[in-house]
Structure 1
Amino acid sequence: MSEVPEGFVMPEMADPSIRPAASLVITRDGDNGAEILFCHRVSQMPSFPDFWAFPGGGVTRFDRVAAEELSQLSADEDGAALAALMREMVEEVGWTNSEEGIVFVDDNVRDEVIENGENWHHLVKQGGLGANSNGFKIISIRTTPPLAPMRFTNRFFHLHDSNPPEPKLPSGRSEFDEFRWLTPKQALESWNTSEMRIPPPQITLLRDIIESLEKSEGDIQSATSTMSENPPSGEHRIEFAPSVECVPLPTHTLPPATHTNCYIIGDMGGDLVVVDPAAKSDGGLAYLERRIRAAESLGSKVIATIFTHRHPDHIGDLTRISEIYQAPIWATAETHSVIPTCDTDKILKDGDTFTLSGRTWNVLETPGHCPGHICLSNEVGIISGDMAVMVGTILVPPGDGDMDKYLSSLERLSDLNPPILLPAHGPLSPVPEKLLNRYLTHRRARHARVLDAVKNGISEITQIADYAYDDTPDAHPILKVDQTLSHLLAHQRAGDIEQINSAWKLATP
């Protein structure tokens, strides 16, 4: 059964726009080799709060103008990205690159750039701010996966200074509140033990740098020069968390999502479990196969497939997937009811556990969105299926969903206080408490509003929906009636209301 109500036509979703961006991998000499600067993003940031990231930002219109007018920059995408990066250096860490190396920017000059980024170009052009482009080299180009309405193609520039000054926070508001220098191996180990949270593209970049350093006998300049000759820009693992690879597969799902997040869990070289391989299209199946083959090339083996629930945007073409790999299916009885079974399959129940590479995963039954829906939790976070998403919404189908159970399941996840939430659609949730509380507050308010409508004598479902959704005038008419029915049925099960023919009334005492 689909979660989408009858009569709802899935709109064609345009491909997300892709914006250019730039990030700085700045290194210095350290006791244990070259160290990279990591910046801690403040908890109020809308994206990746409390993550450790590289300085950088998006390329603007005036960065492109700067690239065309400043002689030290090339008048192309690389030049515009470098202009953006040098501007962000001033704003975020108080540096500029001079003929003598990295130096502090005068506080007044820095404030001018922070107040209006376009001032960077004018200050450099007029000689009020140095901007030496020598030493910067692109070591990787990464495009973010199709998980959100906005995507970025990020150019990662390397710059080495043997002994740069310590970065300095601006006097006003800042994206960052702390700085840390670490070798690539130290950073990767801190991420692997969950001591630091680092955005996915930077994890695979760290792995690339470590590999290049090993080939260059620890010489960071040689290692990054080799990388810059052919910057790795192709397909990489999307590592949302330690031992968790995300494989976004194109599916026919509820907009604005266009993909379902399949997860490959377990360490490379060890046993793996594949969660929600939803691939049905040729492109999706080919992508899944590439990720499985990449894991197998490192000695890994898939020991099971887990489905979080039985909706069709989570279960792929099992016949064609079995040609990619073969493994038993682990799922709840409700999910198994729509899947062909074999002798090695396993029925999952609440409280079951399994261990991969020393990490124990716990099965949590979280019904409401769908009977038999499960989540998988461990110390790194929760693979949460269709419980909550960062972009869009979650439907509770009136046919086989249950609003009360859904709210209870949300409360259960919230009580676990996970460090991150790994949803089936869209980007990860870095602050699950905030997301889950928003869902609970929103759904409880809507639940009360539906009951208020009936108490006020409104009996026809479309009018109840209009009343309950008067704060959301752009809500799709079919979806809001569908969700209103889910709320009404929950109130009916609780004995608060009753349905007489097609009219909804308060229950007779």
Structure 2
Amino acid sequence: MIDAPTGVALAIEPLVTRVLAPNPSPFTYTGTQTYLVGTSDLAVIDPGPAEPAHLAALMAAIGGRPVAAIVCTHTHRDHSPAAAPLKAATGAPIIGCAPLSLDDAGPRADAAFDTSYAPDRVLADGESIAGAGWTLTAVATPGHTSNHLCFALAETGALFSGDHVMGWSTTVVAPPDGDMAAYMASLARLMEREDRVYYPAHGEPIERPQRFVRGLIGHRKQREGQILRLLGEESRPVPAMVERMYVGLDPRLTGAAGRSVLAHLIDLRARGLVSEEDGVWKRAA
């Protein structure tokens, strides 16, 4: 298990250093993990929140070395806001996911979208950026958000998995932008890869990633089965399903659980398995 001191540059392998942001919460675990990739020149992955202490810690970790790119996996406010001030301080371009601004008033279990995010270059699936001794390739993984990218480090077999796969918790898939069908397809795509380790934006490294992803797929299918069984008993609104499915849940997470159930229901409706009327869901005839 990696120690998690906030603001300390911790080398986790020769090409990768981690700096933990001071934004712990029930939804971010110990905080957002910003990764510095490279030795002589750097890529900064998920710069995190625009907190002065975190920016100072990043600049100390950079230590005057050139920054080739500031890379963002997606645009929730715990991931991308520090990109702009870091660009101003280093002159580095912001590269990575597409901008996304969504007015979403529903209960969230993660940060809202960063409306200030302005990339200099958007990477398509399979496109790469490179520096001295490192290459990062974008892997499109929509689901948590429609603009989510993971980044594969060719030289070591590591994958920076953002919020798509996390070691401490299942990923929030919150409609309208979060899409369960896309999320499941993205997990299946990762199963086809041979990455050695995942470095998520929150939580510990994932050392046996294919087995871990297989477990995530199984968990989501189990939740889907729960929903279908409950609706087989009687028609129900989402809150009633959450009450039955998440016994003992922290009340702060009830809204998030509801969004996850809704994401499953939207997927099941698209597959013709359930229907909805006035907020009440039922099994399809």
Shorter chain as denominator, the TM-score bin is 0.7 to 0.9
Does structure 1 residue 314 correspond to structure 2 residue 79?
yes
Q: Aligned equivalents of 1:315 and 1:360: distance in 2?
A: 21
The answer to whether the 8 Å contact 2:99/2:147 transfers is yes
SS of residue paired to 2:192: helix
Does structure 1 residue 397 correspond to structure 2 residue 162?
no
Which residue of 1 is the match for residue 257 of structure 2? Answer: 480
1:439-460 per-position Cα deviation (integer Å, ceiling 9, x unaligned)? 1111111022112222222322
Q: Which amino acid counterpart does residue 376 of structure 1 have in structure 2?
A: F
1:347 maps to which of 109, 122, 130: 122
Matched positions, count:
269
Q: Aligned equivalents of 1:406 and 1:456: distance in 2?
A: 28
The answer to whether the 8 Å contact 2:125/2:140 transfers is yes
The answer to whether the 8 Å contact 2:44/2:70 transfers is yes
SS of residue paired to 1:392: coil
Which residue of 2 is the match for residue 27 of structure 1? Answer: none
Write out aligned runs for 1:260-279 (5 A): 260-266=32-38, 268-269=39-40, 271-279=41-49
Q: Aligned equivalents of 1:319 and 1:350: distance in 2?
A: 23
The answer to whether the 8 Å contact 1:277/1:314 transfers is yes
1:258 maps to which of 27, 30, 33: 30
Q: Aligned equivalents of 1:448 and 1:303: distance in 2?
A: 46
Which residue of 1 is the match for residue 110 of structure 2? Answer: none
TM-score by length of 2: 0.85
- In structure 2, stretches of 5+ residues that fail to align are 102-113
In structure 2, the CA distance between the partners of 1:419 and 1:465, relative to structure 1 (3 Å rule), is same
Which residue of 2 is the match for residue 145 of structure 1? Answer: 4
1:244 maps to which of 8, 16, 27: 16
Q: Aligned equivalents of 2:167 and 2:117: distance in 1?
A: 33
2:187 maps to which of 410, 420, 427: 410
Write out aligned runs for 1:3-402 (5 A): 47=1, 144-146=3-5, 237-251=9-23, 254-255=26-27, 257-266=29-38, 268-269=39-40, 271-292=41-62, 294=63, 296=64, 300-335=65-100, 338-339=115-116, 341=118, 345-377=120-152, 378=154, 379-402=156-179
Q: Aligned equivalents of 1:318 and 1:418: distance in 2?
A: 27
Does structure 1 residue 491 correspond to structure 2 residue 268?
yes
Q: Which amino acid counterpart does residue 47 of structure 2 have in structure 1?
A: P
Q: Which amino acid counterpart does residue 44 of structure 2 have in structure 1?
A: V
Deviation at 1:256, TM superposition (A): 6.0
In structure 2, the CA distance between the partners of 1:484 and 1:415, relative to structure 1 (3 Å rule), is same
TM-score by length of 1: 0.49
The answer to whether the 8 Å contact 1:251/1:280 transfers is no
1:133-173 per-position Cα deviation (integer Å, ceiling 9, x unaligned)? xxxxxxxxxxx3248xxxxxxxxxxxxxxxxxxxxxxxxxx
SS of residue paired to 1:416: coil
Q: Aligned equivalents of 1:431 and 1:146: distance in 2?
A: 24
Provide the alpha-carbon RMSD of the alignment: 2.4
Which residue of 1 is the match for residue 215 of structure 2? Answer: 438
Q: Aligned equivalents of 1:441 and 1:340: distance in 2?
A: 34
Deviation at 1:370, TM superposition (A): 0.4
Q: Aligned equivalents of 1:371 and 1:322: distance in 2?
A: 24
Q: Which amino acid counterpart does residue 314 of structure 1 have in structure 2?
A: H
Deviation at 1:311, TM superposition (A): 0.7
Overall identity of the aligned pairs, in %: 27
1:462 maps to which of 236, 239, 243: 239
SS of residue paired to 1:446: helix
